[in-house]
Amino acid sequence: MAANKEIPYKIYLEESEMPRQWYNVRADMKNKPAPLLNPETLKPMTFDELRPVFCDELVKQELDDTDAYIDIPEEIQKFYKMYRPSPLVRAYCLEEKLQTPAKIYYKFEGNNTSGSHKLNSAIAQAYYAKQQGLKGVTTETGAGQWGTALSMACSYFGLDCQVYMVKVSYEQKPFRREVMRTYGAKVTPSPSDTTAVGRKILAEHPGTGGSLGCAISEAVEAATSQEGYRYVLGSVLSQVLLHQTVIGLETKTAMDKYGIVPDMIIGCAGGGSNLGGLISPFVGEMLRGERNYDIIAVEPASCPSLTRGKFVYDFCDTGHVCPLAKMYTLGSEFIPSPNHAGGLRYHGMSSILSQLYHDGYMTARSVEQTAVFEAAEQFARVEGILPAPESSHAIRVAIDEALKCKETGEEKTILFGLTGTGYFDMVAYEKYNNGQMTDYIPTDADLQAGFDRIPKFPGNEI
Amino acid sequence: MAANKEIPYKIYLEESEMPRQWYNVRADMKNKPAPLLNPETLKPMTFDELRPVFCDELVKQELDDTDAYIDIPEEIQKFYKMYRPSPLVRAYCLEEKLQTPAKIYYKFEGNNTSGSHKLNSAIAQAYYAKQQGLKGVTTETGAGQWGTALSMACSYFGLDCQVYMVKVSYEQKPFRREVMRTYGAKVTPSPSDTTAVGRKILAEHPGTGGSLGCAISEAVEAATSQEGYRYVLGSVLSQVLLHQTVIGLETKTAMDKYGIVPDMIIGCAGGGSNLGGLISPFVGEMLRGERNYDIIAVEPASCPSLTRGKFVYDFCDTGHVCPLAKMYTLGSEFIPSPNHAGGLRYHGMSSILSQLYHDGYMTARSVEQTAVFEAAEQFARVEGILPAPESSHAIRVAIDEALKCKETGEEKTILFGLTGTGYFDMVAYEKYNNGQMTDYIPTDADLQAGFDRIPKFPGNEI
């Protein structure tokens, strides 16, 4: 640990410094995240109940809350070397623009074709599927970041990849679809006539544009009805958060190398896997009583699961085919207003992050989308990277905090996660550029309608 | 120079190893590129004739064929540090896939928001404009890579940026347009009613989709008719090639550091600035008799300026407002078939590269676009990067050469330039994915029609 070295614009670790194990923060949590429940028995899901849906090794990771370190298989390490380590960037230009005494760093996960951190888990999930001798995997995708990442991972391992893409996105984001097809994935607009649940929905709602919940249901059915297939998911689950700790581990190593200690760590939170991955090694220090950090989850005001949701058991999916998870939730049937362009639309939150938030290890803040795009534009113009709308939530709060430092004169060190690039989000940018972007905050009544649909059972009253 | 170190997947230079000077290969050329000519007097363009159009410092660089090294101003070095050094990647996965004994490296210039190497020159040109106290710059853009890069550079220096974008691209590539607008550029579809030449063309050809030649004419008129503006160009000119030598200098330093000597250097060639930038330091060694490399320029079969063009004086632009340059050309009115989706549509070639090619320092090869997209897809699937169609021309030949090595058992070291990413080229990928891509090779008669329009004067017969 060498302090006072001159900090370069971008800190890249050597390959030899890259993590060889993921860090499982649950091992250090005194209050473990509550187990997934079988919605029929209301008992914790067992290994055997989960393995028809997920790969065996991933089920093990999902259920493991005691092993602090889990080896990253060599094949995954090899793939990580193709696009990692990702740079830890000192935002010198943004600091100068803001005239702030704060020191701002961001860990940039957008330098790969999937355009985001999603690839970190996609490659792990594809690897375990391949190891298990499976033919392929199924998944759903909305905006397409996850589907793209999974297509890349499957193409690398020669696995079949079937993506159910929300129909309205399939039609409105043809470029995302083509990237997936270029990587060999089969992309089906959902709802489709390829599954029973899809046909049922089509019969009931002809002409529907689909939803993430519907696409999940189709993907799960496709996985469980085909020999040699499993279903994979891009966020929310503890296994995904585990894989994403590669982000935080690299960040911590890079900061330690230069003797940098962040006062504040900021990340956007949808399902929570990127934020969880970034903060895990830092939260580990907090849990072990070694050090303290100010950790802030940022979510859209239009989908405020942490700041306005309930900490209860709820379905992970709108179609109610998945287990119940204890988490901060707006209700599995809550759907953000259609004017919301900024991503992070998930109704719930990783159960690990939910527990940490509940126990006071992090705070949360909600921001409105026009302010988010303002921050995105400001960042792009000085730092040169066009950020994804999701990532820009973190930028908004990082800028706000840096401006507070300007007022108070504090030289805080701010770290934030820049999860991806916005190349496929230009429709939202266009709206912003044309001054047509509007904000939306759900009323208490809107939220209550979502809460009313949360399953009620003894111990799960709101 | 340390040989036999283990070669990482990606070689990143330290900031302290980044170039502080560009290398002006003309200084080492015995046969200098022929000077630009004034089309009216047929005499070499002077500093005073060029300075109403270009910034003073850039005119100096354009005319300087004797200084081997030109300092990179500190402000530009600082900006380069935001997105450079770019990685030199060992294509381990591609080698494995091809089962070739060849060692393949690529220098990847797509890891910045402009998505390509264009930013290397855009930032330099914007800097000199700012230094000269100008208000802004004008330019044209077709597909939009150059316009995007220039918008970013101007935004960084607070310069006004006016981009004339070929109307058909403006309409078909709205996302490129929005990226430029996000960086604060004013983007006008060309032809427009904002210039005399635009109004004239609109009157003669109502409803036209425009062309690069027309957009250049509008941009030049806009620059010369507004106080405090100059015109900038993204390729072809010697100044642009000079700035792009940062690519080759980084590559050479990284290779020297690990004791790697390429046998073969491959790059795509449109206007020639990326290829010229990559090869300059290596060609310098050839020119000084120190070492030999096999250098290959790759161009589309549908726009074959090196392989089928004439080495004569011709206009740099279709609108004939620019000086004459001696280069390999298909005639300034040659336009590739509309079915050509792969970029590199320029009718001519950098006069530096043209001279080097004429003198036998490099060879050229033309490839058809379906084969180019095949290579792009193969590369994307194993190396994870979705390449721009332009860059994929180089991939095609790199793969062909690696497969030759497989047959012969030769362990050649192949280096190629991967100039950018294809995120905004998904319409072309979609065509390929749907099996609708076709090839086109101009007939001799097609080419003759272009040659016939090349200006004839004593010493410039074909």
Q: How would you classify the pairing of strands A160-166 and A136-141?
A: parallel
* Confidence (pTM): 0.94
Mean pLDDT for A248-266 is 98
Of A115, A385, A433, the CB nearest to B181: A433
Q: How close B337 gets to chain A, by Cα (Å)? A: 24
Q: Which residue of B has its CA nearest to A97?
A: B156
Chain A hits for B93, CB-CB cut-off 8 Å, are 82, 156
B45 - beta bridge partners?
none
The two structure tokens encoding residue B153: 């550079």
The two structure tokens encoding residue B71: 């300092």
Residues in chain B, pLDDT under 50: 1-3
User: Would you call A359 an interface residue with chain B, using a CB distance cutoff of 8 Å?
Assistant: no
Per-residue pLDDT, A251: 98
Q: Quote the ipTM score.
A: 0.90
CA distance A350 to A421: 23
Per-residue pLDDT, B5: 67
CA distance B249 to B253: 6
Percent of chain A predicted with pLDDT > 70 = 99
Determine which of A6, A386, A425 to mutate to test the interface with B (most B C-beta atoms within 10 Å): A386
Alpha carbon of B180 to those of A252, B148, B318, B364: distances in Å? 35, 5, 24, 34
The two structure tokens encoding residue A18: 């890259």
Of A83, A155, A426, the CB nearest to B381: A155
The two structure tokens encoding residue B407: 């047959």
Per-residue pLDDT, A459: 92
CA distance B307 to B127: 36
- State the average pLDDT for chain A: 94
Q: Do B430 and A14 touch (CB under 8 A)?
A: no
Sequence length of chain B is 462
Chain B hits for A156, CB-CB cut-off 8 Å, are 93, 381-382, 384
- Greater model confidence, B332 or A226: A226
Alpha carbon A53 to its chain centroid, in Å, reads: 21
Find residues 360-419 of chain A whose CB sits inside 8 Å of chain B.
Answer: 377, 380-386
Per-residue pLDDT, A2: 45
User: Would you call B24 an interface residue with chain A, using a CB distance cutoff of 8 Å?
Assistant: no
Q: How would you classify the pairing of strands A310-315 and A324-329?
A: antiparallel
CA distance B222 to B52: 12
Collapsed DSSP state (helix, strand, coil) of residue A435? coil
User: Would you call B155 an interface residue with chain A, using a CB distance cutoff of 8 Å?
Assistant: yes
Element (DSSP H or E) covering residue B8: none
Q: What phi and psi values does residue B357 have, to the nearest 5 degrees? A: -65, -45
Per-residue pLDDT, B285: 98
What is the per-residue pLDDT across A74-128, written as a single tens digit (0 to 9) for each?
Answer: 999 999 999 999 999 999 999 999 999 999 999 999 988 889 999 999 999 999 9
Helices (H), A66-144: 74-83, 92-98, 119-131
Collapsed DSSP state (helix, strand, coil) of residue B69? strand
B44 - beta bridge partners?
B37
CA distance B191 to B195: 9
Report whether A232 contacts A131 (CB < 8 A): no
Angle between helices A119-131 and A56-63 (to 10 degrees): 130
Q: Do B381 and A156 touch (CB under 8 A)?
A: yes
CA distance A258 to B261: 33
Of A152, A182, A380, the CB nearest to B182: A380
**Tokens 């649950």, located at residue:** A26
Sequence length of chain A is 462
- Greater model confidence, A216 or B228: B228
CA distance B94 to B90: 9
pLDDT for residue A308 is more than 90 = yes
Per-residue pLDDT, B294: 98
pLDDT for residue A4 is more than 60 = no
Helices (H), B158-295: 167-172, 174-182, 196-204, 212-225, 238-257, 273-287
B110 burial via Cβ count (<10 Å: 0-12, 13-18, 19+): buried
Report whether B402 contacts B414 (CB < 8 A): yes
Q: Which residue of B has its CA nearest to A110?
A: B111
Give the type of residue at A38.
N
Alpha carbon of B219 to those of A169, B84, B187, B238, B317: distances in Å? 37, 30, 11, 20, 12
CA distance B235 to B168: 21
- Residue B300 CB: number of other CB atoms within 10 A? 28
Of B111, B384, B427, the CB nearest to A82: B384
Report whether A36 contacts A313 (CB < 8 A): no
Per-residue pLDDT, A5: 67
CA distance A391 to A423: 13
CA distance A327 to A313: 6
CA distance B68 to A304: 59
CA distance B146 to B116: 8
CA distance A421 to A322: 30
The contacts of residue A392 (CB under 8 Å, 6+ apart) are A268, A342, A372, A373, A375, A376, A379, A422
Chain A hits for B158, CB-CB cut-off 8 Å, are none
Chain B hits for A115, CB-CB cut-off 8 Å, are 423
Q: Minimal CA–CA distance to A17: which of A86, A91, A69, A79? A: A86
What is the per-residue pLDDT across B401-428, written as a single tens digit (0 to 9) for each?
Answer: 999 999 999 999 999 999 999 998 998 9
